[in-house]
């Protein structure tokens, strides 16, 4: 897997301009940075000026810290209450999504205050506006905010929600209104206005969610947009400027001639109808290339589309390269990304699997080596053995 760090930086810059002056960009790096590799992506985005990064779990946040990330990290899902002091000491910002959870978190925080180390716990209060996944109601927002702000050593750092259907302008407007009413109630309660955030990729590019103080781009950061998202007029130039970050490539293990009538792969689901040249590629569903991609899936070889034939196995798949002269084990096979004038996108693979681009990217297995590069060449490699920096062409 090749990860283009220049493209990642470029996408961040594009999103920053789209968000508008004064809006902070907090890239989302959950699920191993959508399959791209959390550690390297986090460091690059920090260098590129991201003022905050978002993850889903406490473990992801600690991994980012161990990789050298120093900017604020927001954990988007609730953490175990007994981990609250470790989180605060690591300068992680946490969320409260309901009053029971808030009580448990603040109680755990209070029990550990004997240390009196001066650490502040920064909490973001989630408002339920329509996604029905988490958050307090707008009617309960002021009481929840008061409870958080009154706890010793605790700061109400944010109020936020998440758009359920960013392509639906009317529904998104309803969510925006609910969040604004909750915020107004908090301000009427005499509390300082915290940072407000709602929009992610969908709201930004459809123009259905206000940028507020902070935006949390995910998919667009990696150069992809949802197939069915209506792009707002003001976002069309930004959408066109996005560059895919991930490219999945391999070289054949074998290129062999098979006779007509020869079955290929487990179960013999495909049989050669003519003398055929079949290349075995060492990528399979164990790497995140799902069996459900077939039938009709293709790869790129020498800038041409070729059919993936037979069953996708755990560690291998087969491609029919009969019509591409001269293919050998030295050739590059592209399963995701561009080669010549052709490109296979995450959205194309998603359509074949009846899923979404997010799942295609995030489903890439940890065992696939990630080679991080810029225009000047490779910068690091991540394998199951760990991460290795590239210096003068060597790791």
* Coil/strand/helix, residue 309: strand
Rounded distance, CA 283 to CA 266, Å?
15
To the nearest 10°, report the CA torsion of 72, 75, 80, 84: 10
Q: Which residues contact 116 (CB under 8 A, 6 or more apart)?
A: none
Check if 285 is active-site: no
Check if 372 is active-site: no
Q: Look up residue 292 and give its two tokens.
A: 């459900």
Q: Which of 30, 285, 289, 372 is catalytic?
A: 30
DSSP letter at 161 equals -
* Coil/strand/helix, residue 117: coil
Residue 249 has phi, psi (to 5 degrees) of -135, 160
Neighbours of 97 (CB within 10 A): 20
Residue 326 has phi, psi (to 5 degrees) of 80, 10
Q: Which residues contact 210 (CB under 8 A, 6 or more apart)?
A: 176, 198, 199, 203
Closest CA to 231 of 18, 4, 72: 18
Burial class (CB in 10 A: 0-12, 13-18, 19+), 369: exposed
Q: Which residues contact 269 (CB under 8 A, 6 or more apart)?
A: 263, 310, 311
**The pairing of beta strand 377-383 with beta strand 370-374:** antiparallel
Rounded distance, CA 390 to CA 371, Å?
10
* Coil/strand/helix, residue 222: helix
Q: Which of 34, 222, 266, 372 is catalytic?
A: 266
Rounded distance, CA 316 to CA 265, Å?
9
* Coil/strand/helix, residue 205: helix
Q: Which residues contact 100 (CB under 8 A, 6 or more apart)?
A: none
Closest CA to 154 of 207, 94, 196: 94
Task: Give catalytic residues, as residue numbers.
Answer: 30, 266
């Amino acid at each position: 897997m090749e990860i283009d760090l220049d493209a990642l930086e470029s996408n961040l810059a594009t999103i920053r301009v789209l968000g508008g002056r004064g809006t902070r960009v907090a890239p989302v790096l959950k699920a191993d940075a959508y399959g791209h590799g959390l550690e390297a992506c986090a460091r690059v985005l920090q260098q590129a000026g991201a003022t905050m990064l978002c993850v889903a779990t406490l473990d992801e946040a600690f991994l980012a810290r161990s990789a050298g990330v120093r900017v604020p990290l927001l954990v988007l899902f609730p953490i175990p209450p007994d981990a609250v002091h470790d989180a605060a000491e690591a300068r992680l910002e946490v969320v409260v999504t309901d009053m029971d959870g808030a009580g448990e978190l603040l109680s755990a925080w209070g029990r550990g205050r004997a240390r009196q180390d001066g650490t502040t716990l920064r909490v973001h209060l989630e408002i339920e506006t329509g996604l029905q996944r988490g958050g307090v109601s707008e009617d309960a927002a002021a009481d929840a905010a008061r409870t958080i702000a009154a706890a010793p050593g605790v700061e109400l750092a944010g109020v936020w929600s998440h758009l359920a259907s960013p392509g639906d302008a009317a529904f998104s407007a309803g969510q925006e209104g609910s969040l604004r009413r909750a915020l107004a109630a908090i301000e009427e309660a005499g509390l300082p206005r915290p940072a407000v955030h709602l929009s992610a990729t969908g709201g930004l590019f459809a123009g259905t969610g206000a940028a507020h103080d902070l935006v949390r781009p995910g998919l667009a950061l990696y150069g992809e947009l949802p197939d069915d998202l209506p792009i707002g007029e003001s976002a069309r130039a930004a959408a066109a400027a996005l560059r895919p970050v991930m490219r999945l490539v391999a070289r054949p293990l074998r290129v062999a001639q098979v006779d007509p009538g020869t079955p290929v792969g487990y179960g013999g689901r495909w049989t050669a109808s003519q003398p055929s040249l079949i290349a075995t590629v060492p990528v399979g569903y164990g790497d995140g290339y799902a069996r459900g991609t077939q039938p009709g899936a293709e790869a790129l070889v020498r800038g041409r589309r070729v059919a993936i034939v037979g069953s996708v196995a755990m560690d291998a798949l087969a491609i029919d390269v009969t019509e591409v002269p001269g293919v050998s084990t030295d050739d590059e096979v592209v399963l995701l990304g561009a080669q010549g004038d052709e490109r296979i996108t995450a959205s194309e693979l998603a359509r074949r699997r009846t899923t979404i681009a997010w799942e295609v990217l995030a489903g890439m297995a940890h065992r696939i080596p990630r080679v991080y590069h810029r225009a000047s060449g490779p910068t690091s490699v991540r394998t199951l053995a760990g991460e290795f920096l590239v210096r003068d062409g060597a790791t």
